[in-house]
Amino acid sequence: MVLRKKDILMKLNMKQMIGLELLILLLAMLLQPSAFAEDMVAKSPFRSIFLGNDLTHWHGEATMDPRVLSAMPDAERAIKMDEWQKDAVAHWTAKDGELINDGHGVFLTSDEVYGDFELLIQYKTIPSADSGIYLKSNPQVQIWNHKAEKLSAGQDKGSGGLWNNSPGAAGKDPSQIADRPFGEWNEFRIQQVGARTSVWLNGKHVVDHATMENYWDRKMPLVPKGPIQLQTHGGEIRWREIKIREIDSEEANQILRSHRSEGFQSLFNGKDLSDWEGDVENYEVVGGAIRCRPGTGGVLHTEEEYADFIARVEFKLPPAGNNGLAIRYPGSGDPAYTGMCELQVLDTEHPNYAKIDPRQAHGSAYGMIPAHRGYLRPTGEWNFQEVTVQGTKIKVELNGSVILDGDLADVTEFMANTPHPGKDRKSGFFGFAGHGDAVEFRNVEIKRLP
């Protein structure tokens, strides 16, 4: 076949067009990383936790604050577990790939406990039923009939909401009705990172990255790990295709970082410290992260000052590592005292710190307000932290769980009776307060608030 000059040019133009389209797609991926975030991190596979014909991997358990259950003496807890298991066997059966509850009895509870995870589960129930799925022993992703003759408050909005969140809280009500007609199977996809919870019902996104409140103690975050529980509530319900995959720290951090990322400004170019001031000589860039040089310290801070803001940062601690986030730092002095505060960055679970003052734990406003402990990832893994500063209020969310939410204006007692003259500062620099350990920081971002 002989090609004319015009045909050859057309083929060349077509190749150029295809190349241009690929280039545009690549640029779109680079400019909009959040849209492609899920494809950029390797995901763990789903695995079945219901075998289909028996209750293996499951046991009976009453609804109870998991901290109360774990605090029971071993003998007392064993007696309770035995009672609950007998009750479960009386009301739960497994047959032909379906898990069936007659509407009564204790909740069926997974033997395993989970931290960050994604759950797939299908259910089918009857019009009079009212059920739900407990996450980390906490109520609940709601299941009920939005067309019942007598409706409870919020029932008309359908299933899938975090029903036990406070009135008006994000996620309490699903964003839309996604229930299928009774007699048909419904499918949930539930993702939880820390307390951050997203729910899809029958393919519709009904809860978006909402914080699941701790029903047992709303001043506390959810426990770091806990089981899945299937609720019984007066009507037959059937479950099948129960699968779970655990989310590792890299994927979890990307999920947290990609959510509502608009308006954030990067503070670190990943290559050098050209945009930073202060004790620059005591810090270095290693593997795309800012690292405090071992045996040195001091404050590395931004060029600009900030008043109200949200800062996001990932950090990695060496064993017993100690550093801090300098908040509204004036540019000189100890940021814990001359600045609004220093938020501790500390390997709190290391034996060296077993007896520290609670106001020294990781995430604490040093010497003033203690943070909840137990939410750091294992040493050597990257943690994701978001800090919100508004007026005199400060909130710290670590790996998806709020570990501090307080107002420095209310602080009247200080650790070692040492005053903090800078706590009422209205603005200042943001930075890192090194204490001699090789703590690393990356993906440093900030957003000014009105």
pLDDT score at 251: 97
Are 178 and 314 members of one domain? no
Are 51 and 189 members of one domain? yes
pLDDT score at 414: 96
Question: How large a percentage of the chain has pLDDT more than 90?
Answer: 85
What is the pLDDT averaged over residues 245-267? 95
pLDDT score at 252: 98
Asked whether 372 and 403 are in contact (CB, 8 A), the reply is yes
Are 192 and 172 members of one domain? yes
pLDDT score at 128: 83
Q: Tell me the per-residue pLDDT of 46-56, one tens digit each, with 9 for 90 and over.
A: 999 999 999 99
What is the pLDDT averaged over residues 60-71? 94
pLDDT score at 360: 98
Q: What is the mean pLDDT of the chain?
A: 91
**How far is 350 from 439, CA to CA, in rounded Å?**
15
pLDDT score at 42: 77
Residue with more model confidence, 38 or 77: 77
pLDDT score at 153: 87
Are 330 and 210 members of one domain? no
How does residue 233 score in pLDDT terms, banded at 50, 70 and 90?
confident
Are 156 and 202 members of one domain? yes
Q: Give the residue from 96, 97, 87, 98 showing the smallest Cα distance to 59.
A: 87
**How far is 242 from 159, CA to CA, in rounded Å?**
18
Q: Tell me the per-residue pLDDT of 298-348, one tens digit each, with 9 for 90 and over.
A: 999 999 999 999 999 999 999 999 999 999 999 999 999 999 999 999 999
Are 236 and 264 members of one domain? no
- HEC assignment per residue over the chain: CCCCHHHHHHHHHHHHHHHHHHHHHHHHHHHCHHHHHHHCCCCCCCEECCCCCCCCCEEEECCCCHHHHHHCCHHHHHHHHHHHHHHHHHHEEEECCEEEECCCCCEEEECCCECCEEEEEEEEECCCCCEEEEECCEEEEEECCCCCCCCCCCHHHCCCCECCCCCCCCCCCCCCCCCCCCCCCEEEEEEEECCEEEEEECCEEEEEEEECCCCCCCCCCCCCCECEEECCCCCCEEEEEEEEEECCHHHHHHHHHHCCCCCCEECCCCCCCCCEEECHHHEEEECCEEEECCCCCEEEEEEEEECCEEEEEEEECCCCCEEEEEEEECCCCCHHHHCCEEEEEECCCCHHHCCCCHHHCCCCECCCECCCCCCCCCCCCEEEEEEEEECCEEEEEECCEEEEEEEHHHCCCCHHHCCCCCCCCCCEEEEEEECCCCCEEEEEEEEECC
Domain's final residue, options 247, 270, 297? 247
What is the pLDDT averaged over residues 368-374? 98
Are 219 and 273 members of one domain? no
**How far is 204 from 270, CA to CA, in rounded Å?**
37
Are 228 and 272 members of one domain? no
Domain's final residue, options 213, 247, 281? 247
221 inside domain: yes
Are 61 and 162 members of one domain? yes
33 inside domain: no
Are 213 and 284 members of one domain? no
Are 197 and 239 members of one domain? yes
Q: Does residue 447 have a pLDDT over 50?
A: yes
178 inside domain: yes
444 inside domain: yes
How does residue 151 score in pLDDT terms, banded at 50, 70 and 90?
confident
Are 240 and 263 members of one domain? no
Residue with more model confidence, 3 or 272: 272
194 inside domain: yes
How does residue 260 score in pLDDT terms, banded at 50, 70 and 90?
confident
pLDDT score at 44: 87
6 inside domain: no
Q: Does residue 26 have a pLDDT over 70?
A: no
Q: Tell me the per-residue pLDDT of 392-443, one tens digit each, with 9 for 90 and over.
A: 999 999 999 999 999 999 999 999 999 999 999 999 999 999 999 999 999 9
Q: Which residues span the domain enclosing 284? A: 258-448
What is the pLDDT averaged over residues 252-256? 97
303 inside domain: yes
Question: What is the total count of domains within the chain?
Answer: 2
Q: Give the residue from 395, 382, 303, 378 showing the smallest Cα distance to 343.
A: 395
Contacts by residues 214-219 (CB-CB < 8 Å, ≥ 24 positions apart): 214/138, 215/138, 215/139, 215/164, 216/65, 216/66, 216/67, 216/68, 216/138, 217/65, 218/166
Domain's final residue, options 213, 228, 247? 247
232 inside domain: yes
How does residue 219 score in pLDDT terms, banded at 50, 70 and 90?
very high
Q: Does residue 185 have a pLDDT over 60?
A: yes
CATH number, domain containing residue 392: 2.60.120.560
pLDDT score at 40: 57
Question: How large a percentage of the chain has pLDDT more than 70?
Answer: 91
